[in-house]
Amino acid sequence: MVLIGNWWAFVLRGVVAILFGLLCFLLPHMALLTLIFLFGFFALADGIFNIIAAFRRTGPRQFPWWALLIEGIISIIAGVIAFVLPVAAAVGLLLLIAAWAVATGIMEIVAAIRLRKQITGEWLLVLSGLLSITFGVLLFLFPRAGALAVLIWIGAYAIVFGILLIALGVRLRKFIRTVEHQSHGFPAVA
């Protein structure tokens, strides 16, 4: 019921998502910088909370304090890099995605070779592996175009997601009005 009473929050989130999606299409460099800075804020906050948690452990069976401390320091370093060297952060993220795609593709091909006697259609796994490797290599060769392509996909997702959130908010508002009308003008408990 809390969700129904806050229908306007869905509409607002939808509008913000659509605006961000449009930003990705119209000003991709600004959108990329926004994503990098948001990551920077997240990494800094995550690092600070991990360091606090490292010194506030309450029991011996909890995550080791030194692991939390190291994780916190690494997160803070990543956050600072995102603010001080945003281009390096963007390239680093893109290269990580490229390396992941190549490694995943290789593992898919290896799995297909190992499974060829047990299954039929292993060529599909080989094909998906080759596609992953090709995607990763293209990102390595053309990182700028890769970053723009990723931003366009993020922008398209944000616009569709925003439209769906707005539609949900409008439906929730209609539901509230129907319930209020059925209860003869008494406000519905939401």
Task: Write out pLDDT tens, residues 27-86.
Answer: 988 888 888 898 899 899 999 998 988 887 656 666 577 888 999 999 999 899 989 999
**Packing angle, helices 143-182 and 7-26, rounded to 10:** 160
Distances (CA, A) of 160 to 21, 32, 86: 9, 19, 28
pLDDT of residue 187 exceeding 70: no
Q: Residue 185 has what pLDDT?
A: 57
Look at residues 5, 12, 14, 13 and name the one whose alpha carbon lies nearest to residue 176: 5
Q: Residue 178 has what pLDDT?
A: 85
Is pTM beyond 0.75? Reply is no
Stretch 161-182: mean pLDDT: 87
For CA atoms 21, 22, 26, 30, give the dihedral sign.
negative
Q: Residue 77 has what pLDDT?
A: 93
What is the band of 92 on the pLDDT scale with cuts at 50, 70, 90? confident
pLDDT of residue 93 exceeding 90: no
Q: Which pLDDT tens digit goes with each residue over 106-152?
A: 998 988 888 777 777 778 888 988 998 998 898 899 888 888 888 88
DSSP 3-state of 154: helix
Q: Residue 103 has what pLDDT?
A: 94
Residue type, 155: G
Q: Residue 15 has what pLDDT?
A: 94
Q: Residue 10 has what pLDDT?
A: 87
Distances (CA, A) of 7 to 11, 135, 179: 7, 40, 14
Q: Residue 163 has what pLDDT?
A: 94
